[in-house]
Amino acid sequence: MKNHRWGWVAGMGVPLILTGCAGGQGQGTASTTTAPTPTTVSPTSTTAPVAADAGTWSLIPGGPYPAGEPVTWTGAELLVARAGCCDDLGSVDLSTYDPATNTWSMLPPTPLTPRGGAAGVWTGTEMVVAGGLASPDGTHAGAAPATDGAAWEAATNTWHPIAAMPTTLPGGDPTAVWTGREMLVWSSAPAIPGSAGREVVLAYNPSSNTWRILPPSGLTPRQNAVTVWTGKELVVWGGLNLDSTTAYGDGARLNPVTGTWRRLPAAPVPARGQAAAAWSGHEVLIWGGDTGAGGPGRGIVGRGAAYDPATNTWRALPLSPLRAKSWPTGVWTGRFFLIIGGGEGSILPVPGPGAAAYDPSTNRWTVLPTAPSYPPPAPNGPTGPADQRFAGLAVWTGKAVVLVGGNDGVLQGPRSDGVEWAPAG
């Protein structure tokens, strides 16, 4: 999930029936025929939809180490790897967070050498991780792309090795999704001086312990692209070049069953990378990011868009109440597209609201209440609302949005704590 790779909208005071597009347009013509008065009248529900800003925030305590990717939700617990920083690569040793008890615990150590940028998914019974940039001592010195992998089986609380990848991954932030049968991995890295960029697409089948290579999209190799799994296809859009000064506005979608890619039409919003995205069950929703204009962190945008794979069309989202941000976190709750956090480049705090929700059924945004503040900080530690972080990792548990990790612009490296939003109703 990336995705590796975690906003809100006000509910209407009365139910709104839409017969046209999401903005409420295209309403039908009223009939002029007078119907007979019925002898009995069915009761009409007066229950209004729960407002998007109705809910509660709570703080998540710090875990055993900085939260990093891969991250996934098992249905009961959040699994996160140890994030690296600076010369530390991190590792795929996993910690678990249980929202029911608001506590963290550790899984048995992974048999894999320390690494960052590994791909990982939850299959329903086990956590599969593979690849990444690894070294025996966990530092960048002597690190090399790895192809080995392992799986943690929940039933036995043990790890076992898996078949090696047929090739290394080129990028440090691969997307990995579970298709119901395979772990689908997409990884891309932009060109560097003296070398062309590279894109790799792989699929791993745990039942047969085998990998297969899928064709690349044909898009210019890039970093920080939007990647969203729709349940049938992987949608890739946008991204940045190596120094984040040029943004891409094209995209493609992959059907892993047929191994075919289809190019997306032009979007009605500026090209960008570092955007938040989520799948609504109908559309790929995108908001925020960096256009690269004027240099990294100087081309931040607040405009969003929605892509409908069924019609192969885009639509622009209305302007949100949030200030433009890069690296915001996006989550779909089943009703709202939530945007939490983000920064002006890497500058925090960002003035204005920290989170908001978009409701596709009304085409409206709503600001969420202010999140609780960080606990009393250590010297030079962060202050202010705990949602003031960028590049956070979030999941929807079915009851709440759980967001951990991310950077606060003060502490060196990712955080180990988080924040939770539990909608009312």
194 vs 147, residue with greater confidence: 147
What are the residue ranges spanned by the domains of the chain? 55-423
pLDDT band at 412 (very low <50, low <70, confident <90, very high): confident
Of residues 284, 408, 400, 292, the one with CA closest to residue 342: 408
Is the pLDDT reported for residue 192 higher than 50?
A: yes
How far is CA 329 from each of CA 178, 340, 401, 403, rounded to the nearest angstrom?
A: 20, 5, 11, 9
Is the pLDDT reported for residue 220 higher than 80?
A: yes
What class is the 55-423 domain? mainly beta
pLDDT band at 274 (very low <50, low <70, confident <90, very high): very high
Q: Which of 45-54, 96-105, 230-239, 297-306 has the lowest mean pLDDT?
A: 45-54
What mean pLDDT is reported for the chain?
89
State pLDDT tens for residues 41-70: 444 445 678 899 999 999 999 999 999 999
By the 10 Å C-beta count (0-12 exposed, 13-18 middle, 19+ buried), 411 is classed as middle
State pLDDT tens for residues 120-141: 999 999 999 999 999 999 999 9
What confidence score (pLDDT) does residue 380 get? 76
Work out the widest C-alpha separation in the chain, in whole angstroms.
84
What confidence score (pLDDT) does residue 298 get? 84
CB neighbour burial string for 348-372, b if at least 16 within 10 angstroms, e if fewer: bbbeebbbbbbbbebbbbbbbbebe
d(C-alpha 53, C-alpha 10), whole Å: 6
d(C-alpha 228, C-alpha 5), whole Å: 10
- The answer, yes or no, to whether the previous bond of 70 is cis (omega within 30 of 0) is yes
pLDDT band at 410 (very low <50, low <70, confident <90, very high): confident
